[in-house]
Structure 1
């Protein structure tokens, strides 16, 4: 099934609700998908930009709109999606095309999240069809119109289990005219965390802090006139670690986790940054390798074993032979809230059942 309009989608969902027919919601096939449901509902035909206002820095588009198309359009106006959505095609071995709806449904956010916030922080409004076939709208075209219960934030990261997006309203931001990176080769995660803690506690506006392959990276973005000042202050502050200045750091590869493309299970672990070095020690003891992003708040692990034995927030992004649910079990109180929301928006349980259930 591939509806071409919101009305057609609502009719399909209402019928599936009445018959209690479970649906696998599919976008471009480049995010975590549900292998447990046979009947697929594709959003590929619900595509296209509704409105783009560069002066107001507001974008309204349908969920099936290809992400590269959006990025190209914004770049032509000197703007971008500030949360830097990752492209996980290489990681997942997918030939699909990332879509805007998939980005929002997964709350997909890249290295700039630590400075600009996550996808949901730039989401101003949504239109969606819930599990009964009702068309709902929440939010507005500008931040001041977002009042009451903000369902937009609830839909972001729900992976299609609460409703199916038909339109999203996103805030855009100007592209940074210049960027530079400080690289610290040959260090471990503990030293990297010390670098991140020091740099992120300054007013020098670090927009990326990652540790990959034994090298820590700090990214600075902004106007040429003030970028040199911020860079020099950080160089002086971290001089004992002999940082190297580079304008050719692999931020796109870090964003897309390209260093872990290929086979084997891949886990996405959220943690307190101060816990990251100890978690990496345990992960390597299981026989794999890891990297850090978000200043240590995000750990990527490729290898055997199950990190949930010692970290609660571990998501299995690529199975690679691993078994078990993709998402971690919820704490009892959170699980009760989650179940209540699911019953409210999807009482028949037809939207991606089993995907986020542990």
Structure 2
């Protein structure tokens, strides 16, 4: 490993050790979440949740009216009116995944959360040490961007937990994706601590890129919720048809499909204005650095395509005929555009944003 001039070698090494330590503890948290799902999903509480889900999915019996000889009518049964806020809302109840599902499962869940907090603190230390080693924002290349994005994604998850939100169901899948992100960061994308080219020495590096990281982390959570929504929606549909499979006991731990759909929509809708500001801030920085606001650079172009894709998703989700699976596919396409812009465009397509290297 080569350390460039103006770089604190000790802090750079500490940063690397802390990131590797965070990966190790995240792995332990991943195993604890696996244990939580294994023990919690086979519990009596989980089986009860499954029975309630199937019962809620059953169609209500119609009202029966009996005509009396005197000319009056007597209502023997009155159907229950269920108000639904989504085209795929079947009235199913949330599974027990947010709160364990069994004593042993809940124990492993609490262990997983504790390990996630410890890993996040190590992760935070690695990012801060990287910043101190070069005296700048720790997102000047793809390695630093990836490690910081994973940090913010886990941070948003822990923040929602601290606010009392039932989001423990996403812990296993979020940690899995963050481990993949960090694995790519420390192998394929790794770059030594170094100073940046003159064009990046601007306060806009703190504003524009930090906003992009926050948006990416939120889009990440929204995409995971949408992905899980598709599986849970299929589970509920199979439950209605009476053809549940052997592994469907895992899906019953998830929140109802309508809950997942609503969560994904809310987090994407909340972060979309910030993504709009991110693109505007990038244009202002481009004018300062390159003398033009917009030049259809590949990264600029795909950022705009991502913006259009998410705008289409939000519009579709707010339109009655496009709620549910159709809107979910648009959400995943939009997140796919974000990933393509980050990985494929930055690595394989040469543009003005390529000067930072990996």
Q: TM-score range by the shorter chain?
A: under 0.3
Indicate the structure whose relative CO is greater, using CA pairs within 8 Å and at least 6 residues apart.
Answer: 2
TM-score (norm 1): 0.27
As a proportion of its length, which structure holds more strand?
1
Higher Cα Rg, which structure: 2
Structure with greater helix percent: 2
- Give the TM-score of the pair, scaled to structure 2: 0.27
